[in-house]
A = this chain, B = another copy of it.
C-alpha cells in the first residue's frame, strides 16, 4: 500500500521532470531523439545518483522499465504538441517544481528506509531533487535553476526536512510524504510567483 503510493509519486515525478526536459529540448529546436535524451536526464538522473551513492545497484530503472517508458512517452507527447514559444519556459519551471518536491520527498524516504542518518537523508533528498534538473540545464548551456536567485534548493530542503521531522514524530509514511511534497512545492511556488528569494551574499551588505 505504502509501496504503491510511493510508486505513484515516483512516476508522477518522473513524468514532470521528463516534460521539463522535453520542453528544454523544444527550446533548442532538437530532433525527436534529442527530446528523449533530454527528457530522460532529469527524469532518472537524480534517482540514479541517489541509488549509486547508497549502493542500491542495479539502479531503480534497470529492473523496472516503466520509468524509462514514462519518460519517453512524456517526451513524445511534448514533441507532438504545440506551444507558444513564450509559454514553454513557464511550463518548464512549474513541471520542474513538481518534480523537485516529489523527488526531494521520495529521495529522503528511500534514504531513511535504507538506514542512513537524518543529515545524510536530507542531503540525498536534495541531491535526488536537484541533480537531474542541473544536468538538463548544463547540457542546454543554461544557468542551472538551482543557481538562480529564486528559492530552489531551499524548496528541496524544506521537503526533505519536513519528511524527516514527520517521520521522527511517527507519522505514517504516506502522510509524511504528502506533507513533504506539499511543503516543498509551496515553498518553490512562492519563490516562482513572488520572485521570492533568501538574502544572498550580494544583497547582505
Contact = CB atoms under 8 A, between A and B. Distances in A.
A48 B205 CA distance: 36
Copies of this chain: 3
Given A29-B202, A57-B55, A203-B29, A68 B120 contact: yes
Interface string A194-205: 000111111101
Contacts of A37: 126, 130, 146, 153
Interface string A123-148: 10010001000100011110110110
Contact of A139 (B32, B63, B147, B205): B147
Interface of A: 25-26, 28-37, 40, 48, 52-55, 57-59, 61-63, 65, 68-69, 79, 82, 116-117, 119-120, 123, 126, 130, 134, 138-141, 143-144, 146-147, 149, 151-154, 157, 197-203, 205
Given A52-B53, A55-B57, 7 more contacts: A30-B200, A31-B199, A35-B201, A37-B126, A37-B153, A40-B123, A79-B201
